[in-house]
Amino acid sequence: MNELQRLIAEARNAAEHSYSPYSGFRVGAVVVAATGSEYTGCNVENAAYNHTICAEANAITTAAAAGVREIDTIAVACPDGFGCTPCGNCRQMMREFNVRRVIVTDEAGEPIEYTLEDLLPHSFGPGDLPSSRE
Ligand SMILES: [Zn+2]
């Protein structure tokens, strides 16, 4: 098992804790901080749908709560036979923490590696705020 496969396996394990009673769409994610520390998350749905949190956002906020400010890698997996890529909101959250690469899977579960620039070209980030240009 190579590194990408290991990260996808870890993301699939995180999806085992998914709370997805409405969609049945389980998602897991693992964040690898620039320091090498790893943090997992799963999607957590809510009867008021707009309060649902994605697995990637869960893992990112868990890492941030532990003090992480630079994220190297995020791996995302949907263990029920779907390929999945991060939603737009999660891509923007990844931008905030300068994610270097994003690992997703195809429908067969094989890892696919992207840069954040691949997934969110011409993005807006912390350096684009007027206050950061002074
Ligand atoms: Zn998302």
CATH of the domain at 23: 3.40.140.10
Query: In a 3-state reduction of DSSP, which class is residue 50?
Result: helix
Tell me, in angstroms, the distance from the centre of ligand 1 to residue 36's CA.
23
The count of structural domains within the chain is 1
**Which residues sit with Cβ closer than 5 angstroms to ligand 1, an ion?**
54, 87, 90
Angle at 117 between CA 38 and CA 31, to 5 degrees: 10
Percent of the chain, pLDDT > 70? Answer: 100
Tell me, in angstroms, the distance from the centre of ligand 1 to residue 27's CA.
10
Tell me, in angstroms, the distance from the centre of ligand 1 to residue 11's CA.
14
Tracing tokens 């996808």 back to the chain, one arrives at: 8
**Domain residues for 26?**
3-133
Which active-site residues does the annotation give?
56
Q: What is the mean pLDDT of residues 108-114?
A: 92
Percent of the chain, pLDDT > 90? Answer: 88
Kindly indicate the confidence band of residue 102, based on its pLDDT and cuts at 50, 70 and 90. Answer: very high
Write the pLDDT tens digit of every residue in 43-76.
Answer: 999 999 999 999 999 999 999 999 999 999 999 9
Nearest-angstrom CA–CA distance, 40 and 58: 8
- Torsion over CA: 11, 126, 46, 58 (sign): positive
Task: Choose among 122, 105, 35, 104: nearest CA to 71.
Answer: 35
Tell me, in angstroms, the distance from the centre of ligand 1 to residue 43's CA.
9
pLDDT value at residue 91:
98
Task: Choose among 117, 98, 103, 121: nearest CA to 55.
Answer: 103
Q: Return mean pLDDT, the chain.
A: 95
> What is the pTM (predicted TM-score) of this model?
0.93
Tell me, in angstroms, the distance from the centre of ligand 1 to residue 134's CA.
32
Nearest-angstrom CA–CA distance, 24 and 80: 9
pLDDT value at 109 more than 90: no
- Which stretches does DSSP call E strand in 2-134? 28-33, 38-42, 71-77, 101-105, 111-115
